[in-house]
Structure 1
Amino acid sequence: MFSKKGSTQVRPALPDDGHLTRASFAHLDEKAILRKMDLRLIPMLALLYLLSFLDRGNIGNARIEGLVDDLGMTGPEYNWTLTIFFFSYCFFEVPSNLVLKKLRPSVWLPCIMVAWGLVMTLMGIVKNYKGLLIARFFLGVAEAGLFPGVAYYITMWYCRHEAQWRQALFFSAASVAGAFSGLLAFGIAKMDGVGGLEGWRWIFILEGLLTVVVAFAAFYFLYDFPETASFLTEEERKFVVWRLRYQGSKVETAMVEDIRSNTKNAPAVAEVEEFEWKYVLDAFSDWQIWVNIFVYWGIVCPLYGISLFLPSIIKNLGYSSSKAQLLTVPIYITASILSVITAWVSDNRGIRSPFVFGGLCLTAIGFIIAISAPPSVPGLVYAGVFIATCGIYPAFPGNITWLSNNLSGSLKRSAGMAIQIAVGNLGGAMASNFYRSNDAPRYTLGHALELGFIGAGLIAVGILFFGYKRINAKRERIGDDHGLTVQEMARLGDKSPGFRYVL
């Protein structure tokens, strides 16, 4: 039996199981194994991301509790504290995912959690604008590895047609974090004056300490890869690895059974585990990643615009700070529920693009309502940002899963997802400056800029959809293997003639 904490830092090689077929595992209950994996993996991953999103976004809650005034900051200076986080966050994402391939997730992820928890705690004692700016920079450095690392980690456990629902469960923690942040800030702000510290300082200190505590627990509750999962039997481990390796294969049909009818033309590709720079360079030169980044910007600019400024937008509608904190809660709870439902339908249909496109359209409708609402009807602005948020959160995991489905080979997928998220999160740096204090309470410029990025995202979805459709049709015409061996097709990855892109 393998232990959870293997003695090596690389994934152990399994014996050659090429002779195995689905019939070899017919006596196993696949759904029961998936449930077992879900219960052991998803709750902890969701908790980690909840704390990550909570710690990067709580500055919006601290702002309306007096952060800017107490530190003597101007509106542009506050925006810079938001922006600088994304510069370091984006720069360190790709290196972090490459490190994750070398180190065990159960070591790397808790370590970076401890780091950002300490930074967050120390943010509660900053004395001026420069101190806050430095703290936000290092918060970005520490948090950089979590989201791309976990998004990639999920693909190492679940097949293509199962990934979005799990990504949504994990990402829904972001919307729960938004609701949780409002509730926590409402309660913690009552500590104003305790220990001689302002209420907004306690928001940073207590939420940072919570992250550190959870990080130490995560070391014992995170699992690395299926090959070393102690909660699975040896036979179950082999089955999980087998189904990942040959998911949807048409090649050597005596050896492999199609997992889903809509992926019957998908790749017959065994994951290539040996590190080669070739796969990283392939990711940097792949057209689909760079087009997908525009889709990502169309989602993430509104995402960060909402998460960083929603309390301020609501407060400027005429509500008190406390009521503004509480009014964010129903928005995020609804968005979380819609995210999970949408992902479940998308996984069952085996398609991604309609749900990403639909989410972007809903987001656009919300911002159009917010930008056109008359000042005399503040409730209409609230309805607009409510609708926009309900479009953003279902679209985000759909877009992440869509790209991961269409990158074959674990190293290329690891690098490609990190590039998507790293460059894509520059949208957060841009969105940090969309909502200027002198534009309150209507924030016309901010809403208009969000609509511009949503429009670019919708165009990019169309380019990807028709590009994938054209390539799939061409590969259908020319045939699947061209006499290539499974190993040769594995090295070609998603460039293999047997690979079919998910639409």
Structure 2
Amino acid sequence: MDTPHEKPEVAEVDDSQTNSLQLRMENDVGKIEALGAAPGTTLESFAHLDQKKILRKMDMRLIPMLALLYLLSFLDRGNIGNAKIEGLQEDLRMSSDQYNMCLTVFFFTYAAFEVPSNLLLKKFRPSRWLPLIMVAWGLVMTLMGIVRDFRGLLAARLFLGIAEAGLFPGCAYYLTMWYCRHEIQLRQAMFFSAASIAGAFSGLLAYAIAKMDGVGNLEGWRWIFILEGIATVIVAILAFFILHDFPETAIFLTEEERAFVVFRLKYQGQVQKGQHDHTQIAQAEAFEWGYVWAAFKDWQIWVNIFVYWGIVCPLYGISLFLPTIIRNLGYSSSTAQLMTVPIYVTAAILAVLVAYLSDRVGKRSPFIIGFLFMMVVGFAMCISSTNPRVVYGGVFIAACAIYPAFPGLVTWLSNNLAGSYKRSTGMAVQIGIGNLGGAMASNFYRAKDSPRYILGHALELGFISVGIIAAFILVAAYVMVNKKRGKALQEGKEFQFTPEQLSHLGDRAVTFRYMY
């Protein structure tokens, strides 16, 4: 970690120092772009570089910090489920409907602010924007520990949604600015597996913190919010000095390594043929609102959202209600907290292993569709049995399918969106509107349906089924479009476009191939 070198650059003492930093960054970017765009430059020009070593450098500098940020994010949004079984609902004198409303409103503000946040990410730089929103939600989480009634908790959850909105889509998009299509799912999974670890850690942490019941005349569930919120703020302050921005300005890479990383990102997903060699997409992309609208009008994003709902509804159903589901099988609160741990640990390991395989074979849909069917098996076990062991086995199987499928789906869409602004917007739309599934899932498991929760499990099965259908539609469409573009290339239709036009078309260019 090159903190000693980073800190002087990011300190903002006065305007002249800030302007000097901006000028140095612009000069660095200019050098890297000039090196990558030199006449005759190809991937072979960088053959002497050790690509695996460069990837290891990037992995060590980027993934651990992003994983920690997302671990805290998922911990802070989901710990209300742990707080519930420690007495939150009773102490605040809330009905079950009011509790579910507090879960639901989080997703409304969370969904609304994801697209604006992703657009602001590039303007304000990841090393500033991500820690800033993290400080905001850490403060909200800490203050959640002193709410006194339903209205206070409801307001806190609304603001938590605003503050947390930018983290996951921001980090997911941020990784696409560093890694190529055939490498990205493993990194998305390593980053996202923090959610699985958060689920395990949340149960252990809640079990321990709940023992503070009575300390400072505060209930144990309040300390869960307060201590986890303070931890988030502390990590956010560290993130200001540790996070890197873009490959062009990465101080842990040499100039030539930076040029290589930027160069290969520009030419992924394109079929090179004839006179349209690598220069065809070497155009620098300036912000245009057209890129944003292009994302909103892209059919694949809206079909993908249905697949997203098929995964995210079970994801939030598990993360928000798993302790309650297990406790209602006849276990004590402390035992229920601990029984969530092996589920999440296993899911995290599977997510990374499956991502590695998916990147190796260059396929996304077989794994995603396979895990959707695996979720069907898990929830079918839950809905069809009263045996606690069978139900526990069912949620175990479902969770072990959800956590590998989710990063695969986010990666799948990012692989098929070309152009940084369109990809940024498209991923935010997918995650933002997709996370409205969390608002729905927050109301699936009602207290009056305890202990079997037949309605909740049935609704999960319904969304999973829709997701399977949408996934098959995506695959069929991608295959058809790729064949059509292959035929157009054979007929030489790419020569009807200038390199600039092909660059501007992005994933709609005849030379672009969808990954499925």
Correspondences of 1:370-381 after superposition (within 5 Å): 370-374=382-386, 377-381=387-391
Contact 1:272 1:491 in 2 (8 A): no
Relative to structure 1, is the Cα distance of residues 35 and 141 closer, same or farther in structure 2, using a 3 angstrom cutoff?
same
Report the equivalent of 2:18: none
Q: Mapping of 1:203-242 within 5 angstroms? A: 203-242=224-263
Paired with 2:410 and 2:99, the residues of 1 have a C-alpha distance of 30
**Partner of residue 512, structure 2:** 499
Equivalent position of 2:99 in the other structure: 78
1:359 Cα offset (Å): 1.1
- Out of 326, 335, 345, the residue aligned to residue 357 of structure 2 is 345
After TM superposition, give the deviation of residue 485 of structure 1 in Å: 2.5
- Rounded to whole Å, the distance in 2 between the matches of 1:229 and 1:358 is 38
The code of the aligned residue for 1:431 comes to A
Matches within 5 A, 1:410-449: 410-449=420-459
Tell me the secondary structure at the aligned position of residue 424 of structure 2: helix
List per-residue Cα deviations over 1:353-399 (Å, max 9, x = no partner): 0011011111111000000012xx11111000000001100100000
Q: What is the percent sequence identity of the aligned residues? A: 66
Counterpart in the other structure of 1:264? none
Choose the corresponding residue for 2:113, options 92, 109, 117.
92
CA-CA distance at 1:103 after TM superposition: 1.0
Structure 1 residue 268: Cα displacement: 5.9
Shift of residue 481, structure 1, vs aligned partner: 1.5
- Answer whether contact 1:272 1:490 (CA < 8 A) is retained: no
Partner of 2:309: 297
What TM-score do the two structures reach when normalised by structure 2? 0.93
Would you say 1:139 and 2:160 are equivalent positions? yes
* Deviations, residues 133-168 of structure 1 (Å, cap 9, x unaligned): 000000000000000000000000000100000000
What pairs up with 1:43-192 in 2 under 5 angstroms?
43-192=64-213
2:221 to 178, 197, 200: 200
Question: What is the CA–CA distance in structure 2 between the aligned matches of 1:454 and 1:123, rounded to whole Å?
Answer: 33
Q: Deviations for 1:301-346, whole angstroms, at most 9, x for unmatched residues?
A: 0000000000000000000000000000000000000000110000
Structure 1 position 248, deviation (Å): 4.9
Letter of the 1:144 counterpart: A
Indicate yes or no: 2:424 matched with 1:383.
Answer: no
> How far did 1:15 drift?
1.9
Counterpart of 1:469, as a letter, is V
In structure 1, list runs of 5 or more residues that go unmatched: 258-266
**Aligned AA for 1:128?**
D
Q: Give me the whole-angstrom Cα distance separating, in 1, the residues matched to 2:256 and 2:80.
A: 48
For 1:471 and 1:252, the matched residues in 2 are separated by 18
Match of 1:280 in 2: 292
Contact persistence 1:21–1:254 (CA under 8 A): no
Amino acid paired to 1:33 = I
The answer as to whether partners of 1:249 and 1:256 remain within 8 angstroms in 2 is: no
Taking a change above 3 Å as real, the CA distance of residues 452 and 21 of structure 1, as seen in their structure-2 partners, is same
- Equivalent of 2:375, from 363, 366, 389? 363
Please, what TM-score do these two structures have when normalized by structure 1?
A: 0.95
Per the alignment, in what secondary structure is the counterpart of residue 22 of structure 2? coil
Q: What is the CA-CA distance between 1:101 and the residue it aligns to?
A: 1.9
SS in 2 for 1:231: coil
Say whether the 8 Å CA contact 2:347–2:403 is kept in structure 1.
yes
Q: 2:319 aligns with which of 302, 307, 311?
A: 307
Cα gap change, 1:271 to 1:58, in 2 (>3 Å): farther
Distance in 2 separating the partners of 1:290 and 1:250: 26
Distance 2:485 2:22 in 1: 43
Write the letter of the residue equivalent to 1:242: F
Give the alignment partner of residue 489 of structure 1, picking from 478, 502, 505: 502
> Using a 3 Å threshold, how does the CA distance of structure 1 residues 121 and 491 change in structure 2: closer, same or farther?
same
Shift in CA distance, 486/404, structure 1 to aligned 2, threshold 3 Å: same
- Over the aligned positions, Cα root-mean-square deviation in angstroms equals 1.8
Give CA-to-partner distance per residue, 1:230-275, whole Å, 9 cap, x none. Answer: 0001111111111111225433679979xxxxxxxxx963475310
Rounded Cα–Cα distance in structure 1 between residues aligned with 2:284 and 2:89 = 50
CA distance in 2, matches of 1:344, 1:56: 28
| Equivalent residue number for residue 392 of structure 1 | 402
Displacement of 1:473 in angstroms is 0.4
Measure, in 2, the Cα distance between the counterparts of 1:232 and 1:417. Answer: 27
Q: Please, which runs of 5 or more residues in structure 2 have no aligned partner?
A: 11-20
Q: CA deviation at 1:488?
A: 1.2
Aligned 8 A contact 1:335 1:391 in 2:
yes
1:460 paired residue number: 470
Deviation at residue 482 of structure 1 after TM alignment: 3.0
- SS at the partner of 2:317? helix
Local SS of the residue matching 1:427: helix
- Whether the 8 Å CA contact 2:81–2:324 is kept in 1: the answer is yes
Encode CA deviations 1:422-459: one digit per residue, 9 max, x unaligned.
00000000000000011100000000000000000000
Are 1:298 and 1:454, in contact at CA under 8 Å, matched by a contact in 2?
yes
SS in 2 for 1:336: helix
- Corresponding residue of 1:7: 22
